[in-house]
Structure 1
Amino acid sequence: MKRIEKVQELLKKHKLDAFVFSSQANVFYLSGFRSSHAYVVITRDSYHLLTDGRYYEKARSTLKDWDVVLIKENAIRVIKNFLKRLKVSKVGYEEDRVSCEFRKALKGSFIWKGVSGILKEMRAIKDEEELRVMKEGVKISDKIYERLLHELREGMTELEVRSWLVGEFFKAGASGESFPAIVASGRGSAIPHYETSQKTIKHGEPILIDMGLLWKGYCTDFTRTIFLGKADSEFKKVYTVVRDAHLLALEKIKVGRTLGEIDKTAREHIRKKGFGKFFNHSLGHGVGVEIHEYPRVYYKGKDKDVKIEEGMVFTVEPGIYLPGKFGVRLENIVVVKGGYAEPLSEIPLDLVEL
């Protein structure tokens, strides 16, 4: 119940009597229960989960230490009546996670205070159980990727490859994809967030694979760029620059340094090699219950001065994208352990030519 206790400390900090969590991610993070319609209410001395008839019995049997409340009618009305029974007056809600309609419906009865990102710093530091689950997920992802290298062949479509990956995720016991996998071949690899298509994979082209699975509620995120055939000198040059930028960033990660410094390290190397304008996204992002979490690993923006802490988990994913030609991205999830970065994946960063 450490997470609940931490939220109760946050209530004191924000001078609140209670907090209503409505986002699926935060409801799962706090309760371990996944539902499309559930709320967590935490007061300074109690915690409760509210859900409808579709999930009620499962929640009761799963959450032995929780007070589980059935939502029989309009959810907002049930929440308000429940809060009245708790005799609270100052109530917080997730300002950055609710719709305008939800916010409007909350008016009246209580003093409401919207708070953005109330759990973001807590979720950024993973505990031992979270790390165990994430390592399990990455290990499964690694094995699937290794099998993929034996399955890939000329004539397959990008969507066929994605379909194969999804099938393997389910076979391994995952809940599915943590995001829609990107399978980008040839010129498509030069588009960072390419949409996997019916394009046929051809010999003599690069293939960028950006994939992730959902394991026990936690996301994996992994990218490699391989070459079907013998890579030419230009591709090898770009690949080497990206790989070295990745390794330099890993070496720079240390407790106490800022995230902006890490991004700058990789970015400056890419710039010195003449490809600065072709690295057009941040170096990485937090990952956990959601595929993109706080903090963002970038040399500018609100998170640039965030200091690295023990237990932080984020991606390192430098890339170079040459329009009309090809792109290269290499991504691993890393955990800050013993003060330094530890990649969760065991897949080498060396170029693979099939």
Structure 2
Amino acid sequence: MSETLERLKIIHNGEKEQRTFSDAEMERRLSTLRKIMADDGVDVALLTSYHNVKYYSDFLYTAFGRNYAYVVTADDAFTVSANIDGGMPWRRTYGDNVVYTDWQRDNFFHVIKETLRSRGVRVRRVGVEDDTLPVQLRQKFQDTFDDATLVDISQAAMRQRMIKSPEEIEVIKHGARIGDLGGEAVKAAIAEGVTEYEVALAGTEAMVHEIARTFPASEIRDTWVWFQSGVNTDGAHNWPTTRKLRQGDILSLNCFPMTSGYYTALERTMFLGEPDARSLQLWNINVDVHRRGLDLIRPGISCGEIAHTLNEIYIEHGLLANRTFGYGHSFGVLSHYYGREAGLELREDIETVLEPGMVVSMEPMIMVPEGEPGAGGYREHDILVVTENGAENITKFPFGPEHNIVRG
């Protein structure tokens, strides 16, 4: 064979796209990461998770079985993407991009090492994300830089992401507003005999159109709705099915607009027709927990303190064992298949203290099994931005029996 196939390509095809955030915002993120690196003596950070590649580069990859990275040094940064994506990663990346081909095994690692070598970077300590890095991929990095020490920087990067900038908060506020619009579309589609998935489609379509209108330069991707009824409400993450709605059903409305990798959510308990007495009682108890939780969100309180306080209400009603998860979590670069700022979960075992700039949900849920009075899952969900003196609730869709019983 006379022609040698390339291992590394540069594909600067088209023009750079308008990014989600300003240059100043992206430089703020990178400068903080570089301080983390400097404090640990790290020469190069190899970021491989969806959330950190997106957070620091503004490029959200689609793996499809291939590896991707954002490589950051003291004065340089570039994404590493697969040839199948063409020039799109470069157009979406803050910084440079290099491309690896499929023609030889381990080209991904070869391209990272070769690019760093060509740019004069001496690699002695490498920052990696041990919270999401598969063992085999970590070993490949170690084999590639056999004289270097691999250092976990995932927890420090997570702590950086937990405090949102004003630009991030603006995106999140739009997301909450769009989630409310999706909720209205879902509510309007609810009727006896309609399937769960048809109701979900109505909410998804409404949100996608509004995302495109509000963020015309963004990719349109990943927005979805989980709409559940009857027994399907028992899990918070149950996908819609072909089940048809019936009079008396408990319903769960869950709208998730995704704007450039930033997840927001609206979740509400609803009923099709009048709930029975026990269902109404359980619903109101969960609403009481939700209201108390909204009052607790403020700077200076710990995640664990919030959880323990709300537990007391469930204990009073003998429902603590019916809880299904923590009382809330952080928002930002997050989806149903990537991201999680685990240090900012509203759970008993998390000691993080809330600070201005954090964005968290309040979302209590209880589940009563089939065969028991009031069977089903009860869940409310609002998003709050922690401020200097309290918190701003950016979810406006109403909750509770006085608003969310669908009659007719």
TM-score, length-scaled by structure 1: 0.91
Mapping 1:1-354, distance limit 5 Å: 1-36=27-62, 38-55=68-85, 57-63=87-93, 66-72=95-101, 74-85=107-118, 86-108=121-143, 109=145, 110-115=147-152, 116-173=154-211, 175-178=220-223, 181-291=225-335, 293-294=340-341, 295-301=343-349, 304-324=350-370, 325-351=375-401, 352-354=404-406
Contact kept, 8 Å, 1:262 with 1:297, in 2: the verdict is no
How far residue 194 of structure 1 moved from its aligned partner, in angstroms, is: 3.0
Change in Cα spacing, 1:186 to 1:67, as seen in structure 2 (3 Å) is closer
Shift of 1:192: 3.8
Cα offsets for 1:45-66 (capped at 9, x unmatched)? 2222222334453344455x62
Cα distance between partner residues in 1 of 2:69 and 2:293: 39
More moved, 291-300 vs 33-42: 291-300
| CA deviation after TM superposition for structure 1 residue 172, in Å | 2.7
1: CA distance, partners of 2:280 / 2:31: 52
Task: State the Cα distance separating 1:163 from its structure 2 match.
Answer: 2.5
CA distance in structure 2 between the partners assigned to 1:187 and 1:39 by the alignment: 41
| CA drift at 1:173 | 3.4
Could you say what secondary structure the match of 2:206 adopts?
A: helix
Q: CA 1:59 to 1:194, structure 2 compared with 1: closer, same or farther past 3 Å?
A: closer
Structure 2 letter corresponding to 1:79: I
Aligned partners of 1:214, 1:298: CA distance in 2, in Å? 22
Q: Output the CA distance in 2 between the equivalents of 1:323 and 1:105.
A: 46
- CA apart distance, 1:217: 2.2
The one-letter amino acid paired with 1:92 is: G
Paired residues of 1:169 and 1:176 also in contact (CA < 8 A): no
Change (3 A) 1:237 1:126: same
Q: What is the DSSP-based 3-state SS (H/G/I as helix, E as strand, rest coil) of the residue aligned with 2:132?
A: coil
1:148 CA drift (Å): 2.0
Give the Cα–Cα distance (whole angstroms) in 1 for the partners of residues 388 and 298 of structure 2.
9
Which whole-Å deviations, capped at 9, do the CAs of 1:41-92 have from their partners, x for residues lacking one?
A: 11122222222334453344455x6233333461111112223332232111
Corresponding letter in the other structure for 1:149? K
Structure 1 residue runs of 5 or longer lacking an equivalent are none
- Using the alignment, how far apart are the partners of 1:128 and 1:55 within structure 2? 32
Q: Scaled by the length of structure 2, what TM-score is found? A: 0.80
CA distance in 2, matches of 1:133, 1:183: 24
Deviation at 1:113, TM superposition (A): 1.4
Q: Determine helix, strand or coil for the equivalent of 1:207.
A: strand
Matched residues in 2 for 1:192 and 1:50: separation?
35
CA distance in 2, matches of 1:50, 1:297: 31
Instruction: Give the RMSD, CA atoms, in angstroms.
Output: 2.1
Residue type of the partner of 2:137? F
Question: Matches of 2:319 and 2:101 in 1, distance apart?
Answer: 59
Q: How far did 1:169 drift? A: 3.0
Q: Distance in 2 between matches of 1:188 and 1:72?
A: 44
Query: Deviation at 1:329?
Result: 0.4
| Structure 2 CA distance for partners of 1:209 and 1:82, relative to 1, 3 Å | same
CA separation of 1:59/1:159 partners in 2, compared to 1, >3 Å: closer, same or farther?
closer
The whole-number CA distance in structure 2 between the counterparts of 1:191 and 1:214 is: 21
- In 2, the alpha carbon distance for the partners of 1:296 and 1:11 equals 22
Measured in 2, the distance between the counterparts of 1:62 and 1:202 equals 46
**Which has the larger strand fraction?**
1
Partner AA of 2:78 in structure 1: H
CA–CA distance in structure 1, aligned partners of residues 352 and 156 of structure 2: 16
The one-letter code of the counterpart of 2:384 is V
Paired with 2:157 and 2:38, the residues of 1 have a C-alpha distance of: 14
Aligned residues: 350
8 Å Cα contact 1:169-1:177 kept in structure 2: no
Paired residue type of 1:5: S
Query: Given that residues 189 and 202 in structure 2 are in contact (C-alpha distance below 8 angstroms), is that contact kept between their aligned partners in structure 1?
Result: no
Q: 2-side partners of 1:118 and 1:38: how far apart?
A: 21
Residues 187 and 66 of structure 1: CA distance in aligned 2, closer, same or farther (over 3 Å): closer
Residue 177 of structure 1 and its aligned partner are, at CA, apart by 4.0
